[in-house]
Structure 1
Amino acid sequence: MSEEKVPGHDDVSYHLLNFDAAGKERGDDSRHVLAEAEAAQPTDIFVLSHGWNGDVPAARAQYGAWIATMADCGADRERAHRLPGGFRSMLVGLHWPSRAWGEEELGTTSFDAGPSIGTEDLVTRLAARLGNGPEPIEAVRTIVGSALDDIEPAYLPPDVQAAYDDLDRLDEDTSAEGAREPFDAERTYQACRIEDDPVSFGGFSLGGILAPLRVLTFWKMKKRARLFGESGAATLVRDLQGCARDARVHLMGHSFGCIVAAAATAGATRPVASLSLLQGAMSLWSFSAEIPGRPGLTGHFRPLVTHHLVDGATFVNMSVHDRAVGTFYPLGAWSGHQVTFAAEGYPQYGGTGVHGIRGSGIAVVDHSDIAAVESLAPGKVHNVDARTIIAANEGIAGAHNDICHPEVGRLVWQAVISGR
């Protein structure tokens, strides 16, 4: 069974459902979840999606921390229970394969100390981030082989540039959410040499000649988030709405999980009650009537606005301390070119986790301090500056994962209550 306990809260539990890269559920735990929803008829259903993540234990730890943060907001929980109709909740966390770069499975491999796992094993694991089949394996083998000879040459060797070009062509995202400039491996490599601090994930360095792999992985996972949101996540939300017809469904995402949550909202049977987007690795123009510099192209999630698919509030957290979004989003989009700005004063390619939701045709409310937010108006998009709270420096990601704060928990509750 999928039920998980929340640390420190014996009265709170959630369901953890596991999906593959194609959006297909692994196992049949959702069958039990839907049966419970039909029997219990909850008033409020929460569907949560992580972003960059590792394995199921990592997802379990993250969801436990998120939900515990909300559960610790005692006054807000009591307020919800006093609302007309009461408050009977069901919580569902979604796990989807979204490994980024250099996770723990690569062990203590280091190009400085010599690989502790076989080179072919390393090649296979890195290639799995970027696609299936022989093409990514051959390309990554070329890049890794060159890195073993010289981890940081002055310029990328021609065969490495060609290998990166091959990887980029394998999985192009032509949607508006995937908009970016053509990938330029050499410019990206040089930009990473300037931007990067020395980094090591589990002892394995993805700096130097391997740094552009991080950028390609960024766009691979971004596309996967959208496809998963449109398939497995959206199907689950529709099924939950069918089983609990009067329930208010609340979507919450972090990082690429914001794309999952937005896509699931777009695919729901009826409008959802609230949408909480924490440090989103999604385009700041996602809801815009027109994307600057791309005439005739609307934001990929524009229908959420035009079709009023969120009854309550949509809120977006922002922090200038989020390096994962602030650095790798524009770096990947521009492939090392100088970042240009639209007429509105925001980058043409940038993420909501730093800039919020922007553009034309959106009812936006800007909040300059998360601690001062008293309520969230329904039917509007709220950009909430959380730099005073979301500020931890966690290596190359900066404060990207620093979301488990009481102020953030209270903001989610305000979104939940906004539609009531």
Structure 2
Amino acid sequence: MPFQTIAATGTTYALIALDADGKERNDDPDAAGGQPGRLSDRLLAQWRDGPAPTDIFLWSHGWQGDIPAARSQYDRWIGAFSACAVDEQEMRTLRPGFAPAHIGVHWPSLPWGDEEMGDTASFAPPAHAGKDAMIDAYAQRLGDTPQVRDALAVIVEAARTGADATRLPPEVRQAYVQLDQALALGAGGTDGDAGADRLPFDPDASFAEASQLGAAFGAPSLGGILAPLRQLSFWTMKKRAQAVGEQDVHALINRLLDTLPDARVHLMGHSFGCIVMSAALGGPGGTAALRRPVDSCVLVQGAMSLWAYAPSIPVRPDSAGYCHRLLPDGKLHGPLVVTRSRHDTAVCELYPWAAGVAGQVAFDAATTYPTFGAIGAFGIQGVDTAADIAMLDIDGGYTMPGARVLNVEASAYICHKSGVSGAHNDISGPQVAHLIWQAAQASAAEAP
């Protein structure tokens, strides 16, 4: 069902599904006229003709492969937000008549493909996962073209027959080079966009580095012949996150602002969802107009470059991050809030490996920042107006100036580890929910 009710709180949210190209799916079963249509059309018509929300909270998950996984995350995340009774009462004091509405965005975004590897410690696929099934799974993830399938056939066959390989066979290396070319990800370095802020792809280095990282992830599953495939999957999902944000999420925000001129819009992204929301502010090409500024934006454990918002990247002063125009162009009325945690293995250790940087898996943010690193590990850097603060408990009060970056050190609360990603998905605690409330309240307090 396109409308979900969270059992614990009774909160309802709309779940809008987009395809891999960033276009909203035309499969709302209850669209006007009895024909399938877009859920957003029905939602906007309902709000235009009936009681309208005063505040719309738009949420984007990170790597969740299907709608049930997205529902599960939104039930926990939005549920924790809705359970903050004290924060809600404070908002009602600031905004009499406060009536919130929630929209969760689902987009196909599973990068790693652990599901076809089974529960064994070995990187060899289980017997029931045949060659064709694995090719189909990765082709669906990467783009089902003949060039992609041809390369995958070579790679998957080698992985099934050479699970203990200590180096890439020449024909596999060439297949990876062909696959990288077919995916057209780009390698723009620190000033590349979300799908290209990496070094040129080197399958041999990816293979070797992933094997060294195995211990840090609690299992050797990153190693083996398929390791470079996981790296390419990661960058494909980053590129997709940008397309999703620039296309219909950006358009949806503008439609909300047009249809409900008195409503405030608040953005929340997690992991790759931080790319979605940043790209949604920028629109196509990163410079498209918004009808009016968005009221707050919270990026939780983002898997995007720490230099993405920098007008001049220190390690490359003649270049700027892909999102560097968003704040100067006035896309945001309220604060831009970012969380970071040292317990998040996915962004602290996996992200630099995925960027293709050998050895850049451990940095002390108090003394230096890497060329390639994630905001979930280091916050947004290279922005003069950025401020840093520790995450507060649920009764703490934040100072959040409008249109400013606030990096929140959250290791004390985003700390519960699960699997190879560490604390990456520990985002539904009350302290994170309180932070999102505080960002929304800050924009309300500054309203004329």
Same fold (TM over 0.5): yes
Check conservation: 1:287, 1:299, Cα contact below 8 A: yes
Equivalent position SS for 1:419: helix
Amino acid at match of 1:238: N
Indicate the residue corresponding to 1:125 in structure 2.
Answer: 137
Distance 1:358 1:35 in 2: 41
Q: How many residues matched?
A: 416
> SS of the counterpart of 1:176?
coil
Bigger mean CA offset, 328-337 vs 131-140: 328-337
Which letter does structure 2 place at the counterpart of 1:388? A
**Which of 242, 260, 279 is the equivalent residue of 2:258?**
242
**Residue 187 (structure 1) aligns with:** 205
Say yes or no: does 1:7 pair with 2:18: no
Which residue of 319, 331, 353 maps to 2:376?
A: 353
2:180 and 2:312 mapped to 1: Cα distance?
Answer: 26
Residue 257 (1) aligns with residue 269 (2): no
Deviations 1:308-351 (Å, cap 9, x if unpaired)?
Answer: 21111111010011111112221121343557989982011100
Does the CA contact (< 8 Å) of 1:176 and 1:298 recur in 2?
Answer: no
Work out the CA distance in 1 between the residues paired with 2:127 and 2:295: 50
Please state how far the C-alpha of 1:15 moved relative to its aligned partner: 0.3
SS at match of 1:9: coil
Aligned partner of residue 372 in structure 2, secondary structure:
coil
TM-score (norm 1): 0.93
Tell me by how many angstroms 1:285 deviates.
0.8
Aligned to 1:286: 308
Checking the alignment, whether the CA contact within 8 Å between 2:340 and 2:407 is kept in structure 1 is yes
Structure 1, gaps ≥5 residues long: none
**CA contact under 8 A between 1:251 and 1:265: conserved in structure 2?**
no
Deviation at 1:206, TM superposition (A): 5.5
Q: 2:46 aligns with which of 24, 32, 36?
A: 36
2:172 partner amino acid? V
Letter in 1 for 2:380: I
> CA separation in 2, counterparts of 1:304 and 1:168?
30
Partner of 1:101: 112
Preserved contact between residue 37 and residue 240 of structure 1 (Cα < 8 Å): no
1:176 is aligned to 193
Deviation at 1:155, TM superposition (A): 1.3
Whether the aligned pair in 1 keeps the contact of 2:360 and 2:370 (CA below 8 Å) is no
Decide whether the 8 Å contact of 2:217 with 2:421 is kept in 1: no
Q: What is the rounded CA distance, in whole Å, between the counterparts of 2:180 and 2:54 in structure 1?
A: 45
How far apart are the structure 1 equivalents of 2:163 and 2:144? 26
2:57 aligns with 46
Name the SS of the counterpart of 1:316 in structure 2.
Answer: strand
Verify: 1:86 aligned to 2:97, yes or no: yes
Deviation of 1:88 after TM superposition, in Å, equals 0.9
Gaps of 5+ in 2: 28-37, 284-289
Per-residue CA shift, 1:183-224, capped at 9, x if unaligned?
1111111111111149799xx956311112121111110010
Partner Cα separation in structure 2 for residue 70 and residue 285 of structure 1: 29
**Aligned-partner SS, 1:331:** helix
Alignment TM-score, normalising by the size of structure 2: 0.87
**2:407 equivalent to 1:383:** yes
CA displacement at 1:176 relative to structure 2: 3.3
Q: Residues 184 and 260 from structure 1, CA distance in 2 versus in 1: closer, same or farther, beyond 3 angstroms?
A: same
For residues 326 and 216 of structure 2, the distance between their equivalents in structure 1, rounded to whole angstroms, comes to 40
- Specify the alignment match of 2:24 in structure 1: 25
SS of equivalent to 2:297: strand
Query: Percent identical across equivalent pairs?
Result: 41
Question: Which has the larger displacement, 48-57 or 25-34?
Answer: 25-34
How far 1:150 moved relative to its partner?
Answer: 1.4
Secondary structure in 1 matching 2:380: coil
The match for 2:351 among 329, 332, 350 is: 329
Q: d(CA) in 1 for partners of 2:315 and 2:125?
A: 46
1:233 matched to 2:249? The reply is yes
What residue in structure 1 maps to residue 421 of structure 2?
397
